[in-house]
Amino acid sequence: TKHVIGLSQSHDSALAQFSTVHLECKVDKEICPLNLAPTTSTTAALVMGDAICAALMELRKFTKDDFAKFHPGGTLGRSLLTKAKDLMITEVPMVQPEDGLHEVLLRISEGRLGLVVVGTPSDVQGVITDGDIRRAMASSSNPNDLVASEMGTKAPVFIEEQMGVSEMDRLFREKKIITVLVGSAQDLKGVVQFYDIHG
């Protein structure tokens, strides 16, 4: 059996007669100067519709995951359904700890991510960003003698492949970083950057 919830200005309306449940949504006057164009009445109907929707969500225990399932292309759907594994860049530029400044710059340029990872996918020893290179060069008396192990951070932030967009966004903002590594120091899967979730 199908039930109809009707919403109109009067319990005597044709719609009311065909409705299982009728909600009277009456306004005294439209805000239109001529009192003709539906203005106040459309706002009242919108409010009633939102109230019905909120009540049904409560009754049916409708969750964020349900919303995402039925609206996958929206902002909420994307933030709940898109994971790090969906966004990560898997071709990560790498250098060895003993590599010099020239090699590091070359790999950063080739990788086009503004960074390189030090070590191997099974032995990550750090991350060097272009900002790290500028700082290292500024503080070194002889920049040409710099090696990868002397630049960047030795403790990069790792996340799991299943981390969602909203969690990643919170992590980026809390730690004030723009890059995270996916996987672990013993099993590097890829890289996700702040711009990947706000692109």
Confidence class for position 118, pLDDT limits 50, 70, 90: very high
Q: Output the pLDDT for position 65.
A: 80
pLDDT at 130: 92
How does residue 199 score in pLDDT terms, banded at 50, 70 and 90? Answer: low
pLDDT score recorded for residue 69: 80
Report the percentage of the chain scoring pLDDT > 70: 99
| pTM reported for the whole predicted model | 0.68
Structure tokens at 11: 């319990």
Task: Give pLDDT tens digits for 97-115.
Answer: 999 999 999 999 999 999 9
CATH superfamily placement of domain 84-197: CBS-domain (3.10.580.10)
What's the confidence (pLDDT) of residue 1? 73
**Rounded CA separation 139/133 (Å):** 10
Of the two residues 70 and 8, the one the predictor is more confident about is 8
Percent of the chain with pLDDT over 90: 83
Q: In this structure, are residues 174 and 110 in contact, taking their beta carbons and an 8 Å threshold? A: no
pLDDT in tens, 6-16: 999 999 999 99
Residue 145: partners with Cβ closer than 8 Å, 6 or more residues away: 100
Give the DSSP per-residue string, the chain: ----EEEES-TTSHHHHH-SEEEE---S--SSTTS-SSSHHHHHHHHHHHHHHHHHHHHTT--HHHHHHH-TTSHHHHHHH-BHHHH-B----EE-TT-BHHHHHHHHHHHTSSEEEEEETTEEEEEEEHHHHHHHHHH-S-GGG-BGGGSSBSS--EE-TT-BHHHHHHHHHHHT-SEEEEEETTEEEEEEEHHHH--
| pLDDT, mean over the chain | 93
Per-residue pLDDT of 135-149, as tens digits, reads: 999 999 999 999 999
The residue ranges of every structural domain in the chain are 5-62, 84-197
